[in-house]
Amino acid sequence: MARVSVDTRKCTGCHQCEIACSAWHEGQFRPSLARLRVEADPASGKVRAFACTQDRCGKCRDACPEGAIKTRSVPVKVSSGTIQCTVLVVEPDECTGCGVCVDVCPLKVIFLHPDTGKAVKCDLCDGEPQCVLACQNPLVQAVELRPDQPARVG
Amino acid sequence: MHFYCGRILRVDLTEGRVSTEPLRTEWLERYIGGKGLFLRYLWEELVPGTDPLGPDSPIILATGPFAGTCVSTCSRLLVGFKSPITGTIVDSYVGGSYGSEMKYAGYDLIVIKGRAAEPVAVSIVDDDVLLVPASQAWGWTTSATERWVREWAGRDTRVLSIGPAGENLVPWACISTDQYHKAGRGGGGAVMGAKNLKAVSVRGTGGVSVPHIREFMADTQRMHREYLLVDAHMWAHTDGTPVLVDPVNGAGAMPTRNFSGGEFAGAGNINSEAFQRYRVRKRSCYQCVLSCRNYHVIDDVSCEGPEYETIALCGSNCGIDDIGALTRFHVACDELGMDTISTGAVVGLAMDLTERGVADYGVRFGDVEGYLAAPAAIASRSGIGEALALGTRVVAQRSGLPELAMQVKNLELPGYDPRGSFGMSLAYATSDRGACHMRAYPVSDEILSGLLAADTLKGKAQYVLNGQNSSSLRWTGIFCDFWFPDADQISQLMRHVWQRPVSADELMAVGERIWNLGRLLNLRERPAVEPDDLPAPLLERSLDNGPAAGNIISRVAFHEALQEYYELRGWSRDGVPGERKLKDLDVDVRLQPEREVA
């Protein structure tokens, strides 16, 4: 279990993660449609970042009146090998574009695509999260695939 | 189309009219983008002899093919205009996020002409372009102006703005974006001020397309790994430009007390180590993984920078080693919208003249109080600022000591005294916009690598020529000098643009073509554009102190090197490009033949 996480103390606000995300999903460099969001304030230099926490949150899935947001388990490549991750995926054929998911998302990282009208969100790029690859500076490395704490038992 | 938007925006402030038109794609193979495309457009847009502060004088915002893509450093924006300081063309570059955003909004270039009757801001959101009344913001600082624009245009809006200095037509007023990024040199802020143009904001939700985008991303990331995120460039991340203080001061080339000395005793108080004590954060320009920007908190001042040139001109050149005062001065210039190089130079000159007793500007070397009051006085043209806002040349002439003004073509010298780096004399003299370190940079090998002797002009004509050609090429991208990609590296990216094999030689020819086009543009502005020369003391006098003291460039050696440079360029003895050279380079414009006197 893991999710994309941006360490805002390390992040320098270059937006390469958003650029890469849009390239992968949209086939063009169009960060306004990125599935994660970085806000960098030029005055203070401070950065805020928003990335889907998948089923740790799950509000979009739970709220979808069509049941169009599915829980899937996908293998995701990390430096040490492959780990199995849970992602919430929008099934486009079932999505009616009602926008309920957008309203309930606490981080505003699910939105209706301006061309298709259907909801889109982070799907960990078929197991190769592009945002993580694009955060290249070894002295920064703010975007990472962060393993969740194992669920407490008993 | 790929890499480019294929569209330019025109704004006529006099008529309050905006329009779009297709990008002149027939120019792309010759000039690529950025500097090349700007100059080619300017050739058409600028009527020779136009008053830079008149309504017909254009401001052109230009991007390169890689703005908005994943190529690091290439978010840079070119702000181009005819300079109110030098009368030359000026292409001034600024980082931040504006260039990328312009592409997302769908524009490769923006051409702004005319003069609004009342202060305005241009608001661009994708296809929607509006002129917004800006009278209420007139007089505001650059940061207040940015905040104001974001309030009505949205948080993600990028803003170009001027401060009070630009409104008051201070010749070296600059253009500000993302608060701390400046298109610094040559007076673009005054050109905007003369148009009653307070700000140009842009927000884009569109995209930039490239062929085979996943392969392009992988190739770019490979280049970042192999060429950018390597030891040769990581100083920009770990230190930033303050790292230059120690080597330049150590070589005796750090402007000290109005260029009288080359070694500053207080350098250790304003070097990289000193600034690192106050560093709180690193930041990047848009799409750049290098992240060279440094945020500092010193006393009660929180800011980004200062960079080396500010440290040199506003620090050592003013005899100031108080890091808090220097940072305050830097922030004041940023907020008022003034180039720190020219501001530091004119304040250093005022100190010099006051110390000599030939004038009294109430400021002396190292005097913090008078120093800190100077930027506001200059920006408002009040008190000592009334005179100082005329620039070093006029101020020095008025005191009967014109040789104390350290300028070329009326643009003040940046942070390298050529007596400590001889090649810089030729670089300053032959730059296309007056004294500038961003066209050719012999400091790199005369001081930093130490591969070349700093106290001779032998071999420097070729070095300067190569530097100018390759910088012209880099600024088509628009790449940043903290990467400094060579033609071979750029060719690896241009293959994706042109979808064919591209050689480094072919690209170096583009750089040379662009440099020659710039020369033609400046020659077209004769006689207002002055010949290539340097202030006499730099050629004839030695520095008072430091390792380079005793070195004299000499007028004879300088003129020999200048003639060698013209010859290598294929230019006449007066520096006019020959027909053969222009034909070889496939430059597609020509000067009108001079009218024969009957």
How much is the mean pLDDT over chain A? 93
Q: Which of B207, B213, B286 sits opposite A15 (nearest CB)?
A: B286
Q: How far apart are CA A116 and CA B213, in angstroms?
A: 21
Task: Name chain A contacts of B207, Cβ cutoff 8 Å.
Answer: 22, 26, 28-30, 33
Question: Are the beta carbons of B478 and B64 closer than 8 angstroms?
Answer: yes
Contact A29 B286 (CB under 8 A): no
Q: How far apart are CA B116 and CA A60, in angstroms?
A: 50
Q: How far apart are CA B90 and CA B39, in angstroms?
A: 9
Q: What is the pLDDT of residue B413?
A: 98
DSSP annotation string for B566-577 = HHHHTB-TTSPB
Contact B207 A46 (CB under 8 A): no
Q: How many helices (H) and strands (E) does chain A have?
A: 4, 8
Question: Are the beta carbons of B413 and B407 closer than 8 angstroms?
Answer: yes
pLDDT-derived band at A119 (thresholds 50, 70, 90) equals very high
DSSP 3-state assignment of A120?
strand
Place of tokens 């924006």: B77
- Tell whether the model's pLDDT for residue A152 goes beyond 60: no
Q: Which of B70, B143, B155 sits opposite A16 (nearest CB)?
A: B70
Contact A12 B291 (CB under 8 A): yes
Q: Does A137 touch chain B (CB under 8 A)?
A: yes
What's B228's DSSP letter? I
Question: Are the beta carbons of B230 and B484 closer than 8 angstroms?
Answer: no
Element (H, E) at B102: helix B98-105
DSSP 3-state assignment of A99?
coil
Task: Name chain B contacts of A26, Cβ cutoff 8 Å.
Answer: 207
* Ramachandran region, residue B158 (left: φ > 0; alpha: ψ -120 to 50; beta: rest): beta
Q: What is the pLDDT of residue A132?
A: 96
Q: What is the pLDDT of residue B375?
A: 98
Indicate the pairing of strand B293-298 with strand A47-50.
unpaired
Q: What is the pLDDT of residue A154?
A: 40
Q: How many helices (H) and strands (E) does chain B have?
A: 24, 17
End-to-end CA distance of chain A: 19
Task: Name chain A contacts of B208, Cβ cutoff 8 Å.
Answer: 28-30
Distance set, CA B556 to CA B212, B537, B540 (Å): 56, 14, 10
Q: Which of B70, B104, B210 sits opposite A134 (nearest CB)?
A: B70
Closest listed residue to residue B156, CA positions, set B286, B250, B27: B286
Report how many Cβ contacts below 8 Å link chain A to chain B: 106
Question: Are the beta carbons of B200 and B122 closer than 8 angstroms?
Answer: yes
Q: pLDDT by residue (tens digit) across B522-546?
A: 999 998 899 999 999 999 999 999 9
Question: Amino acid letter at B210?
Answer: V
Provide the token pair at B311: 């440290």
Q: What is the pLDDT of residue A44?
A: 87
Those of residues 39-98 in A touching chain B at CB distance below 8 A are 39-40, 42-46
Contact B70 A136 (CB under 8 A): no
* Ramachandran region, residue B576 (left: φ > 0; alpha: ψ -120 to 50; beta: rest): beta
Provide the token pair at A51: 């990335």
What's B338's DSSP letter? B
Contact A42 B146 (CB under 8 A): yes
Q: Which of A14, A39, A42 sits opposite B289 (nearest CB)?
A: A14
Ranking A75-84, A145-154, B316-325, B355-364 by mean pLDDT, the lowest is A145-154
> Which residues does chain B have with pLDDT short of 70?
594-598
> Burial code of B437-463, b = ≥16 C-beta within 10 A, e = fewer?
bbbbbbbbbbbbeeebebbebeebbeb
Indicate the pairing of strand B120-125 with strand B197-203.
parallel
Provide the token pair at B266: 């207080």
Question: Are the beta carbons of B280 and A46 closer than 8 angstroms?
Answer: no
Residues 6+ apart with CB under 8 A from A44: B302
Measured in angstroms, the CA of A136 and the nearest CA of chain B are apart by: 6
Provide the token pair at A6: 């941006």
Indicate the pairing of strand B411-412 with strand B407-408.
antiparallel
Q: Which of A28, A42, A140 sits opposite B179 (nearest CB)?
A: A42
- Tell whether the model's pLDDT for residue A35 goes beyond 90: yes
Task: Name chain A contacts of B291, Cβ cutoff 8 Å.
Answer: 12, 14, 137, 140
Q: How far apart are CA A49 and CA A38, in angstroms?
A: 4
Testing the interface with A: which of B214, B283, B288, B296 to mutate, by most A Cβ within 10 A? B283
Q: How far apart are CA B319 and CA B313, in angstroms?
A: 9
Q: What is the pLDDT of residue A78?
A: 81
Indicate the pairing of strand B158-161 with strand B128-133.
unpaired
Place of tokens 């505001």: B140
Q: How far apart are CA B329 and CA B368, in angstroms?
A: 10
Q: How far apart are CA B176 and CA A140, in angstroms?
A: 27
Closest listed residue to residue B193, CA positions, set B222, B177, B170: B170
Q: What is the pLDDT of residue B598?
A: 44
Question: Are the beta carbons of B108 and B206 closer than 8 angstroms?
Answer: no
Task: Name chain A contacts of B214, Cβ cutoff 8 Å.
Answer: 23-24
Q: How far apart are CA B230 and CA B147, in angstroms?
A: 37
For the segment A48-61, the average pLDDT, to the nearest whole number, is 96
